[in-house]
Amino acid sequence: MKNINVLLAADENYADQLQITIKTTLENLNKKTRVNFIVLSNNLSNSTKLALKKLAHGLHTVEYLDLDPSVFAFCPTNSHINKTAYYRILAPQLLAKRNIDRILYLDVDLLVRHDLTELYDAELNHNIVGAVIDTGQAFALNRLGVDPVVAANNIYFNSGILVIDIKKWNENHITEKTLNYIKHQSHLIIFHDQDALNAVLAGHVQMLHPKWNLQNSIVFRKHRPINEAYDQLINEAIKSPAIVHFTTHEKPWKTLSEHPYLDEYHEELNELEINRGVVNVISAANSAFVEALATSYISILENDSENQYNFYLLPDHLDQRDMLILGSVISRYDNASIKIVKVDEKLLENAVESDRILKSAYYRILAPELLPNINRAIYLDCDIIANTNLHDLWQTSLEGNVLAAVEDAGFHDRLEHMGITHDNSKYFNSGMMLIDLVSWRSQAVTQRVLDYINHNPEKLRFHDQDALNAILYDKWLHLHPKWNAQSNIVLDALVPPRTELLKLYAETRENPKLIHFCGHVKPWHAESKHPYTNVYLKYNKKLREPVRT
């Protein structure tokens, strides 16, 4: 076996990105290579460390170097770069004591797509580091005060991926020189540690093929190649990158909305969320629906004791009694938690309301922005009861769509009435949605839906549902109606608009997975004739049982 050392730096805020970097590294690795991952951190949680150990699956190793951030107290930061970015500067000095001759440093905003053994073994030709050009700053060495002769014969590199000769680094006192540069030449620094490393290492860098660090500026050709030779290399890198590096403040888990490898990264985030064994469920409720929501929680938890359920509640002016009801339910189950997420209704001041659809119905539109640290969630209306384990739904591949949902049973022509023409005219019911929150945020869905609401109130018959369909009409995955068994389906109250729905509706009536008591009459009303009223009452009865001690 060949052993290679890979250095990464991350805190808990980048735990997901750290896991994806390690996961994609191992998925593309030569089977004859063993990796020792060295993670520079100061606050990784035990759960993250456990997840990394699982990824290494025994063959590879993960170890941690905890560093004192006060060492970098004088180093500048911003919203995009924190103190963790400076850890790489100190690492080679620490690793010299471990008889490690070479290390591959990786930022964690990466997608690895090729065996890193080749990069690790790159010929450095007696240089201290190997790195890839930063096309936007290629000729920036003069700006950093580098000797004009050296600056004229060298180019600026991106420090997110570095092959480092530990012995040469320490012989040339690069750690000390870099920290000294930051301390005394801060007025020259724009790109923080990267500027400092370029100033100190100028003339000692082996430039590598840009396929090993495909930065956003290269992908989008924001800068002209420095010469014809680099033009060819950049074309090769874009066509077949070995490492995709999501540089700049726009990240695939935040606001990045266009990138050829964005969907691939989102798939990794979704897989990460699925494999955690944690199901995120979002709901919104006012006092009138608290008991229904509590009953919904019970139905979900009674059908699954193996997976952890994190419930996120967007409250519409709930009082202390309401919170006690919900807290009492959650406290009965070891695999459940609840978090209350406050909503600023100012964002909804122009939203259309009715006697049946209140402003809280629009809360689901805000949820992805209010919960920036989760990647996937199931949204459920309060009048939905689980009749099965939700994990099969949770693991559904969204196939690049923003969400998965069930076609509305009753209002199939809403897109046409809203003036939206499209080959696929299917209109979904928003009472149950499996949402890729990362894609939602990157495509600015919240703002686009709110804009539609504010500018088209006359088109909104079904309020938030109409607005969601208006924006996402071609970005949703069609699910079997059993995952949103609406009252019209269960009561056999309509003729399906297409013959293929006859079989699906029959299957849903026989075995609904999620029963949605939509419509005016609810199962807690005496006049309810819904065939699954007894299922609701069964779980509702448990709400009144004494709490187990």
Determine the pLDDT at residue 356: 46
Determine the pLDDT at residue 419: 79
Q: Closest by alpha carbon to 347, among 377, 318, 320, 368?
A: 368
Residue for token pair 């608009």: 497
Determine the pLDDT at residue 79: 56
Residue-level length of the chain: 549
Decide if 158 contacts 133 (C-beta within 8 A).
Answer: yes
How far apart are the C-alpha atoms of 280 and 297, rounded to whole Å?
12
C-alpha torsion 297→299→305→309, nearest 10: -30
Decide if 225 contacts 415 (C-beta within 8 A).
Answer: no
Q: Using 50 as the pLDDT threshold, list the residues of the chain that sit under it.
A: 356-357
How far apart are the C-alpha atoms of 302 and 539, rounded to whole Å?
9
Determine the pLDDT at residue 52: 94
In 10 A of CB 305, how many CB atoms?
A: 10
Distance (Å) of CA 354 to CA 142, 351, 361, 461, 463 = 64, 10, 11, 10, 9
CATH number of 269-543, picked from 3.40.50.970, 3.90.1150.10, 3.40.50.2000, 3.90.550.10: 3.90.550.10
446-482 pLDDT, tens digit each: 999 999 888 888 888 877 899 999 999 999 999 999 9
Q: How far is CA 494 from the centre of its chain?
A: 39
How far apart are the C-alpha atoms of 384 and 295, rounded to whole Å?
9
Alpha-carbon torsion (325, 328, 333, 335), positive or negative = positive
Q: Is 268 exposed, middle or buried (0-12, 13-18, 19+ CB in 10 A)?
A: buried
**At 186, which helix (H) or strand (E)?**
none
Determine the pLDDT at residue 86: 80
Kindly report the backbone phi and psi dihedral angles of residue 510, in degrees, each rounded to the nearest multiple of 5, phi listed first: -75, -35
Two tokens, residue 442: 């990157």
Q: Is 270 exposed, middle or buried (0-12, 13-18, 19+ CB in 10 A)?
A: buried
CATH class of 2-249: alpha beta
Residue for token pair 């320490």: 170
26-44 pLDDT, tens digit each: 999 999 999 999 999 878 8
The pTM assigned to this predicted structure is: 0.81
Q: Where in the chain is the domain with CATH 3.90.550.10?
A: 2-249, 269-543
Determine the pLDDT at residue 48: 92
* Residue 57 backbone class (left: φ over 0; alpha: ψ -120 to 50; beta: rest): left
